[in-house]
Structure 1
Amino acid sequence: MKIIGEGRDLRSGTQILYAQVSPDDYLSIVGEDYGGFAIQRKRETHKAYSRLKDDIRLGASLPTITLAIKPEFVAETQEMIKDFGRLATYLSCVGRCNILDGLQRTYILDDLRKENFTFIEGQEIFLEIWIESNIQKLVYRIIVLNAGQKPMSARHQIELLFASLHSAIEKEIGNVTLVTEKDQKRRRRPRIYPLQVVISGYQAFVSGATELNKDNLISQQLQVDSALDMDEESIRGQFSEFIEYFRLYAALDEEIFRIYSGLIDGDSESDDDKSNLRSPHWLTNENTCISFFASISQYSGSGSDSVVSEKVRRTKSALNNLIAKLSAAEAGSDPMALESLDAIRAGKNARKINVGTYTRRLLANGLKEYYRAEGDIRLIDAWNLAAD
């Protein structure tokens, strides 16, 4: 790798390195597992990619590929920012960067390598390398700056963000583990969540919607037109709020896991467990996570500043009260009134409704009733008020 310059995005304050590298050395840098980093966009089969492959054989210059230094390597990178030679050696080691934009081009280059194609001497790839460890800044940079170029679906941008930063997000929330689908095993303790479920929770929190269009992140607010209307401070603040509420979510999970583990095998997480509301794994259910975070946005996300502030206070007070009540509950009891909630859900004719849609709406509306009462209401009453 040859570092050819440095810069800074003045809008977000992110440091940027510019580099060039041969195709062979680039493939060495991203390693064999470049397509398996947590969540990556599936391989595309557009005709344009076949044409691009032919052009690369002829020595065409590729559009710049964007990499991001993994958070754990940012500090060391910044220490040697002025020593381009040393920096090039450091970043040439496999596993120091993630691909943010350029996965399809990497697939094509890798195909050519596997076909024993010899790249033309002097053929170079240009790289833009982001150096940023601040999660909130990367939220802004990836969502908004990338959204303006529309290089990938908005949903995928958030998946990519959480995938590349899940270790930092775990640290930010505290004592939680986010697992990818391929790493998902039986959950033997609380505070372990599928990454996709947390992504859906964030999507629901920003949109305030219980129905998510997964091909288009945050169906309304973070579509490209409205995303570009949000300033950096708003997006950073929104993400910080999500992290704060997720800490409460994890605290609830710890108590629910303890209380409900005796009802079914707490070491298992079968499909039956996930459909059963009275499960120690209830908060790892995607419907539950979506409903929880959507309910917060729906209840506290509108009104004047003073009204919103009061709603936020009531919501947090209600959740903290619920955590306190659960901590005093005995194992094997039903303080969440999940048996009643399940009975309400079962009372609907499954032939006439979408069970998932109804479950999410029921949960979200019941939680909003609980927030309005600042936790001074039984959950069985909240569920009944939400039933229609």
Structure 2
Amino acid sequence: MPPITLAFISDNVNQLNTPALIEQFVIDNIGDGYILDGMQRLNTLRRAAEDDDFDQARPIYFSVVVAEKYDLILYRMITLNNGQKPMTVRHQIEMLTGNLMKRLISNHQLQNITVLSEKETENSSPRGSFRMVDVAGAYLAFLTNGPHNQNSRFIEEKLDEILVGKVMSSGILEEEVGFKEVIEQVDRLSSRQTPKDWLRNENNLIGFSLGYKDSFQHINALSPDQFSTQIEVFEASFQAINPSKVNVGKFRRELSRYFIESIAEDYKIEELTEKFFEMTVN
């Protein structure tokens, strides 16, 4: 039987430099691991173990992947499962997004935002909370390096093939920052109400996640109050767009991405409005 591939996240990958350390790490963190490849084999083994003749002394072989970022695990998960159709790309990302949020919460790294699943918002929608589905949508945009990943005109199977291709060609393995850093900055900036309300919009969150890749050093240095001022400039400029003439969501994703990636330009309202005109004229 081919090895089963397990994956783990660790902030100290470089310290796992001997087989003994890796083995102990796997034992200590087995509850937080992911099965990248071999789920069907595990299910077969579970059923076989119920047989009285099952040889429990027979060894099982594992391949172990330890990465510093969820992005790399998700990339491996998507590429390994490509063509096998155990679950869609979107489903895989939603699952990893939930686990990433749990990890950040358990490590007390989120102080200003709460992220609720669809089930948690069935009966009520707590004011000021982020929706898990929106965060997952932003993660998908981050991985594909594109703001537009939904198309109801395509059947799910074909759309999934397109998304896999976009992830594989996005250059995610060479990115200097990961989506974890995006969420940490969203949380930091959300200590003020204006940025929090702005980032809770799914389209703005997608634009922020994409633009942050190019401007993370500048964003990291901005105070929440400074970011609030920049948002006011963006919104004033965006008001110049006639909503009856455009797909507002599409343009908000594209223009918020540009706004975030070029935030160091410190545009005035007139300057940014003119830039938006140039970007939407066709």
**Bucket of the pairwise TM-score, normalised by the shorter protein:** 0.5 to 0.7
Residue 160 of structure 2 aligns to a residue whose secondary structure is coil
| Corresponding residue of 2:79 | 147
Q: State the Cα distance separating 1:164 from its structure 2 match.
A: 4.0
Alignment pair present for 1:335 and 2:232: yes
Q: TM-score, normalised by structure 1?
A: 0.47
Q: Deviations over 1:325-377 (max 9, x none)?
A: 627x9xxxx936658846846323xxxx6x4xx42324422552572771231
Corresponding residue SS for 1:240: coil
Instruction: Tell me the residue number matched to 1:22.
Output: none
Q: How does 1:1-388 map to 2 (within 5 A)?
A: 63-68=2-7, 81=20, 91=27, 95=31, 97-105=33-41, 118=51, 120-122=53-55, 126-128=60-62, 130=64, 132=66, 134-135=68-69, 139-140=71-72, 142-144=74-76, 147=79, 150=82, 155=90, 158-169=93-104, 171=107, 174-175=110-111, 177-184=114-121, 186-189=125-128, 193-212=130-149, 215-216=160-161, 221-223=166-168, 226=169, 235=173, 238=175, 240=177, 242-255=179-192, 258-259=193-194, 281-295=197-211, 300=214, 312=215, 316=218, 320=222, 323-324=225-226, 326=228, 335=232, 338=235, 341=238, 344=241, 346-348=243-245, 355=247, 358-365=248-255, 368=258, 371=262, 374-378=265-269, 381=273, 385=277, 387-388=280-281
CA contact (8 A) 1:205 1:242 kept: yes
Q: Deviations over 1:257-287 (max 9, x none)?
A: x249xxxxxxxxxxxxxxxxxxx64423332
Partners of 1:325 and 1:94 in 2: CA distance:
40
Partners of 1:239 and 1:282 lie apart in 2 by 25
- Figure out how many residues of one structure are paired with residues of the other and give that number: 262
- Structure 2 residue matching 1:254: 3-state secondary structure: coil
Whether the aligned pair in 1 keeps the contact of 2:89 and 2:164 (CA below 8 Å) is no
Does the aligned pair in 2 maintain the 1:67–1:100 contact within 8 Å?
Answer: yes
Conserved 8 A contact 2:5-2:65: no
Higher relative helix content: 2
TM-score by length of 2: 0.60
User: Can you give the 5+ residue segments of structure 2 that lack an aligned partner in the other structure?
Assistant: 151-158
Deviation of 1:174 after TM superposition, in Å, equals 4.9
Structure 1: gaps (5+ residues): 1-60, 261-279, 301-311
- Could you tell me whether the CA contact under 8 Å between 1:248 and 1:320 is conserved in 2? no
